[in-house]
Amino acid sequence: MVRKVLLVCGILSSLLYVATVVLAAIRWEGYSSTSQTVSELIAIDAPTTPLVVPLFITYSLLVYAFGVGIWRSSAGRKRALRFAAVGLVGKEVLGLVVTLFFPMHLRGVEGTLTDTMHAILTGVGVLFMLLAIGFAATAFGKRFRLYSIATILILLVFGILAGLDGSRLTANLPTPWMGVWERINIFGYMLWVVVLTIMLLRIQDTVAPDDSGGRSNFGSVGS
């Protein structure tokens, strides 16, 4: 039961993050989800920072719990899942550091070290995320593996599109679609976390714990 509760934190974390982003955008009059990034919702002096930061902290804690659930679920079965857990938690450790200590400035304000660190740590976090998806993809069947590959491709394509607007954001120039590209990435990743959680919960229901190091039918689920 404890393991299942920890795994359900994966779904809860994604729901909380998406709800926070949507609610904050509504609360900030004049904010555009089409052209502005999620990071701007927690920017220095942004009107939504007091709302978003506590919710993002809660999101991070839920991800940590989810990572523990994955680690416990992988005992004696798939080492790749443990690497995935490390990737997911590592990404969110960096995400929490960025949220608390390195928020970006609002557009039109000259950038400082905090903006540079925000970009660097966010980029490293993306690498952790991609590694987590890649390792988890090997733990299940063909359908989940193909879905994970498709998710990685989406993250790469739309991540590049959002990145191309980075210099325009820094220069306070229009970025008409940057928010769309970024949200496709974020929501695509959140959906993948939900699907991973469902896969792991199915394992809990159909496979008896095997801590002896013997073979399990992880690979058959989702094939």
Residue range 142-174, pLDDT digits in tens: 999 999 999 999 999 999 999 999 889 989 999
CA distance 24 to 5: 28
Comparing 2 with 77, which gets the higher pLDDT? 2
105 pLDDT tier (thresholds 50, 70, 90): very high
The whole-number pLDDT of residue 69 equals: 93
CA 63 vs CA 16, 20, 32, 58, 183: distances in Å: 11, 15, 27, 9, 19
The whole-number pLDDT of residue 207 equals: 53
CA distance 47 to 52: 10
The whole-number pLDDT of residue 77 equals: 59
The whole-number pLDDT of residue 211 equals: 42
Return the closest-CA partner of residue 83 out of 124, 148, 128, 121.
128
Return the closest-CA partner of residue 110 out of 200, 50, 170.
170
Say if residue 47's pLDDT is above 90: yes
CA angle 110, 111, 113 (to 5 degrees): 145
Q: Which of the 8 DSSP states describes residue 106? A: P
The whole-number pLDDT of residue 218 equals: 44
Mean confidence (pLDDT) of the chain: 90
Say if residue 115's pLDDT is above 60: yes
CA distance 63 to 47: 26
- The residue assigned the tokens 């679920």 is 73
pLDDT (tens digit per residue) in 119-147? 999 999 999 999 999 999 998 889 999 99
For residue 218, with 0-12 CB atoms within 10 Å meaning exposed, 13-18 middle and 19 or more buried, which class applies?
buried
pTM of the model: 0.89
CA 1 vs CA 27, 72, 95, 115, 205: distances in Å: 37, 12, 28, 42, 11
Comparing 7 with 206, which gets the higher pLDDT? 7
- The residue assigned the tokens 């593996």 is 145
The whole-number pLDDT of residue 223 equals: 44
pLDDT (tens digit per residue) in 11-33? 999 999 999 999 999 999 999 99
Q: Which of the 8 DSSP states describes residue 111? A: P
Query: Which parts of the chain fold into alpha helices (H)?
Result: 2-27, 49-73, 79-101, 113-137, 142-164, 166-170, 178-206
73 pLDDT tier (thresholds 50, 70, 90): confident
pLDDT (tens digit per residue) in 190-218? 999 999 999 999 877 665 444 444 444 44
Around 109, how many Cα atoms within 13 Å sit in the side-chain half-sphere?
14
The whole-number pLDDT of residue 205 equals: 64
Mean of pLDDT values over 90-100: 97
The whole-number pLDDT of residue 75 equals: 59
Return the closest-CA partner of residue 143 out of 95, 97, 196.
196
